[in-house]
Amino acid sequence: CFSDLPLPGHELPFILSVGDGESEKHRRRTALPEELLYVRDERGPVSPSLSPEHMPPPTRALLTRIPSAPTSLKTLSVKPEPPAPSPILGRKTLARQDSTSPRPVRRGTFILSTGTFLGRSTSTSMEQGLDVSPPQSPPAYRRMTSREENVFSRLTSSTTTQVSEQQMGNGVISSYQGKMALRAPLVCTHVAEGHSRAVLAVAATDDLLFTASRDRTVKVWDLTEGKESQTLSGHPNNVVAVKYDLESRLLFSVSSAYVRVWDLRTSKCLRTLCSSGSSTNGVISGQQIPTGEAQMNDIALNHSGNILYTAASDRVRVWDVRKFAVTGKLSGGHQAAVMCLAVGKLSAHEDIVVTGSKDHYIKVFEVAGEEGGSFSPRVNLEPPHYDGIQSLAIRGHELFSGSRDSIIKKWDLDKQELITSVSNAHKDWVCGLAYIPGQPLLLSVCRGGVLKLWSSETCQLLGEMKAHDSPVNAITTNSSHVFTAANDNTVRLWRLNNRLDMLVNVT
């Protein structure tokens, strides 16, 4: 019985009897592997034959199953009372309300005390507004005064336009109520309000005012009665240019790749001229510019009103308004988009056409519009601007150009040379130039909202002022007033300051 070798670390004491009546000798021997599976009974000696058959069965501990929440709690003898629903939310009682486990609060949910909202008594349920979608974020900022190719179609949508057109009412020309500085070169007399978005272009006669806006409409204003007389809507995109012929009473508006010709006597669109050179009756809808067409940036009428010049991309086309057909084009011109046009009179049947482009250059053409054909530039004015040309103003042989480089230049078209270059004429893009009729005065406006008055003979600065608190997009004049169009949705009417008028006469 001593032949078994002990296993390391496992020794079990036992009692062995030797002989009859002899004293018991206590020795230790190694426990068998099967003995380690049972708990030793301390109440008596262990039999030398320790087999699993002779060992008592192991004692099994009483296991109690703990029910899981929340379903098993319903089977307990004592069912907890469900929590009362919130008196504020008033939601339906759900099965999960029987659970005693905490419910996570939905992110972004605010719990306010009963019957109060921002410190004011209210009985409105706090459920209102929780599932309402937040308003769309505003469109990203862009420069709204640049009339470059496709710039106006980036942030416009049909939904926004439809809403703005529905909300528009009749425009009114009201007296200006603000204060003006005593030394301001111009005095604001009236404000024309009616557009729902920025006014991009303006034209005027002595009796009528025409405004083109980013709300895709053209408004006609009666300057005698001081109110809007017509609204021409339905343009496919922003209206970036507007011109009017007093003799034929035809209005020309530029939007997207098209020129719409309107008869003001009937307020109907007679014809649509396309940038590709084709024309069609009625209107053309659709925001996307079709293949083969290009964004139109500017138009100009000649002195007789029979010839229309259109600038689309780097091409300028010549149209006979009486036939609504293309008779010629200006070729050999620019390497980038033509942004502005100016037309003067050389003779009864010949025009001088000046084009300003994003390629920094100004080109001069002599065009016999009624004869038609292809016309090459007579001269390329040097030196060029440092950035794109934004505005032109012509009077006789005198030409002024305004650029994105903040410089205004005076040119002699007869001598084909630069006379004066005014550096830093403005602190931003020079967006508009206009002569004051009958006086040697030039007006300039910039994207910073500043208006400046210059001597057209000496290029001396006579005065400056803040015309708008937003970018000024265009300027024009008639025999009595100056008109400025800005991003604040308004057009302001100005007259010369009497003190400045006296100063000019003395000079």
DSSP secondary structure, 352-421, as one string: EEEEEETTS-EEEEEE-TTT-EEE--SEEESSPPSS-EEEEEEETTEEEEEETTS-EEEEETTTTEEEEE
d(Cα 289, Cα 440) in Å, to the nearest integer? 42
Residues sharing a CB contact under 8 Å with residue 42, sequence separation 6 or more, in sequence order: none
- In one-letter notation, the amino acid at residue 4 is D
d(Cα 239, Cα 216) in Å, to the nearest integer? 5
Distances in Å between the alpha carbon of 90 and those of 84, 110, 122, 422?
10, 16, 16, 73
3-state SS of 315-355? EEEEEECCCCEEEEEECCCCCCCEEEEEEEEEECCEEEEEE
pLDDT at 99: 43
pLDDT at 57: 59
What is the pTM (predicted TM-score) of this model? 0.68
Residue 502, H or E segment: helix 498-506
d(Cα 209, Cα 270) in Å, to the nearest integer? 21
Question: Contact 223/230 with Cβ under 8 angstroms?
Answer: no
pLDDT at 500: 60
Question: Contact 145/429 with Cβ under 8 angstroms?
Answer: yes
- In one-letter notation, the amino acid at residue 360 is H
pLDDT at 83: 56
476: nearest Cα among 438, 447, 433, 431:
433
pLDDT at 90: 46
pLDDT tens for each residue of 326-335: 999 998 879 9
| Phi and psi torsions of 11, nearest 5° | -125, 135
Tally DSSP H helices, then E strands, for the chain: 2, 35
| Euclidean distance between the first and the last CA atom of the chain, given in angstroms as a whole number | 141
DSSP secondary structure, 73-140, as one string: GGGSSSPPPPPPPPTTT-PPP-GGGG--SPPPPPTT-----TTEETTEE--S-TTTTSSSPPPPPPPP
- Sign of the alpha-carbon torsion through 499, 505, 506, 507: positive
Where do the domains of the chain lie, and which CATH numbers do they carry?
Answer: 171-194+432-506 (2.40.10.480), 197-431 (2.130.10.10)
User: From its phi and psi, is residue 339 left (phi > 0), alpha (psi between -120 and 50) or beta?
Assistant: alpha
Distances in Å between the alpha carbon of 368 and those of 89, 302, 322, 353?
79, 11, 16, 10
pLDDT at 474: 98
pLDDT at 371: 82
CA 56 centroid distance within chain: 88
Low-confidence residues in the chain, pLDDT < 50: 1-3, 5, 11-19, 21-23, 38, 41-50, 61, 69-78, 88-168, 502, 506-507
- In one-letter notation, the amino acid at residue 345 is K
Q: Using alpha carbons only, give the angle 428, 432, 433 rounded to the nearest 5 degrees.
A: 120
The residue with tokens 């005593």 is 182
Distances in Å between the alpha carbon of 338 and those of 125, 237, 343?
60, 19, 14
432: nearest Cα among 396, 390, 470:
390
